[in-house]
Amino acid sequence: MKRSILAAFFFITIGIIFGVVLVSDFDGVNLGLAQQKQIQLGADRKPDKTDLNLQAANDAFVKVSKEATPSIVSIVVTTKAKKNPHGEEFFRFFPDFRFRLPDEQSQGSGSGVIVSKDGYIITNNHVVENAAGDGIEVVLNDTRRFKAKLIGTDPLTDVAIIKIEASDLPVAVLGNSDDVQVGQWALAIGNPLGLNSTVTAGIISYIGRSIRIIQDSYGIENFIQTDAAVNPGNSGGALVNIYGEVIGINTAIATTNQRYQGYSFAIPINLAKTVAMDLIKYGKVERGYIGVSISLVDETLAKANGLDKAEGVFVQEVIGEAAKAAGVKAGDIILLIDGKPLKAPNELQTHIAAKHPGDKVKLLIWRDEKKIEKIVTLKPRSNTSDVASNTSPDEASDSESQEVASRSITFDNLGFSVAKADARTMKEREVTSSVIVSDLKGFSEAANRGLRVNDIILEADRKPIGTVTDFEKIVKSKKPGDALMLRVKGAQGGTRFVAVMIPKG
């Protein structure tokens, strides 16, 4: 017994001494090294904090974040299970954080911007469009939760309005998106990937971007492009300027992996505000229409129409009563609308989107190398569509088939061939011209400009043509560097203009 006690005492004593030796030795080593050489981590210089410009910029970001964030909400939406309709497109609406629930529903999240003290909130149509009856819940920045009512949606702009029953809410300051310039700082505020009240910064990298994500020929895309980081859950959140004013509603991203890869797109707040006012007043958008199908005017199209530079938007087809009544014609180039110069089709669409049926717009048009003015009274969009007649054409004779082969001609420099259309095709397409595009070389001038096999050429150089010989004479009259305007009728029945440049050399 005495021996056991002595043994235990011995081991405890040794352990204490060993522990002391270890600690003392470790400290001793450090002290020794420190005495031999001073250890310093980091540079000995201090940053210059006297640069007032840097400090002001830093303070501005802090101020904007504090002031703007309280008016940005998180929106949780419960919907019926539905496959993402946008598939694997490169440009897409934010695929907003969805997960399945057991009863064949799904739940997703987005963001919104409070625009009135009594609870009106702007968000995206794609965030709430498939919401179940009471499936919209709003979470405020202070964590309060409310059930929201869907007031109205506008798929053509991807804008929606919801409302919660509350008062004295923090309201966002709405700026003027017409004043936005490329290169300006911008902050994106929202709830990406479930991370509430997230602020990221970047610059405005493009204005007036159309990415063709709204699957409707009347879709209005005039996006502000930015490189402020945004991700799923940011949809419907705010893009703000350095003064804390909302200049856009974050809507879509360019991505191959459903996450941020450098570019995002926001609806200009001026457009969103106009739509929001209609949705609050009427529950829908009362929008006026000119009734024209339009396209971009580039250098080739400008030259083919006698314009010194590329400007305006080109009227491919008149499809509505408003334009017809005002005397607008296919082939016109609209240079100005209400005194505002036009450079792209979406600029015209955005201007009209702020108008209502009965409103008048003034157009300055380029036609036959002259400027003329037209006043258009906008009309509501028609819900009817023209239906093409479907008659049984006569069979083409053998002699007609042989004639097609004998009257074929190829324009190697343009990259396409034309032939004589047979009587059956002409009757079926309801045309008097017999000039049909029979072959097209890939990536040629004609292909790149939009000409297609089986297009029937109705006009060349603004002159009606009837035969392959007529067309050949007009093409041969052009010199290298000249532009040739073609009016064609496609296989589906629509007519359009195609301008091609005669290559040099």
Distance CA 114, CA 108 (A): 19
Neighbours of 338 (CB within 10 A): 11
Contacts of 418 (CB under 8 A, 6+ apart): 408, 409, 411, 435, 436, 437, 438, 457, 468, 471
Q: Write down the catalytic residue from 235, 293, 433, 438.
A: 235
Q: Write down the catalytic residue from 96, 154, 158, 422.
A: 158
Q: What is the dihedral of CA 338, 344, 347, 349, to 10 degrees?
A: 100
Angle between helices 345-353 and 269-282 (to 10 degrees): 30
Which residue(s) pair with 439 in the sheet?
417
Question: Which two three-digit tokens encode residue 358?
Answer: 């009965």
Which residue(s) pair with 459 in the sheet?
464, 487
Question: Which two three-digit tokens encode residue 152?
Answer: 């109205």
- Residue keyed to tokens 């804390």: 244
Task: Please give the C-alpha separations between residue 100 and each of 228, 238, 388, in angstroms, as whole numbers.
Answer: 30, 27, 44
- Residue keyed to tokens 């096999």: 453
Q: Is 351 designated active site?
A: no
Q: Is 51 designated active site?
A: no
Q: Write down the catalytic residue from 109, 111, 126, 154.
A: 126
Count of alpha carbons within 13 angstroms of residue 417, beta-carbon side = 13
Q: Is 235 designated active site?
A: yes
Q: Is 257 left (phi over 0), alpha (psi -120 to 50) or beta?
A: alpha
Active-site residues: which are they? Answer: 126, 158, 235
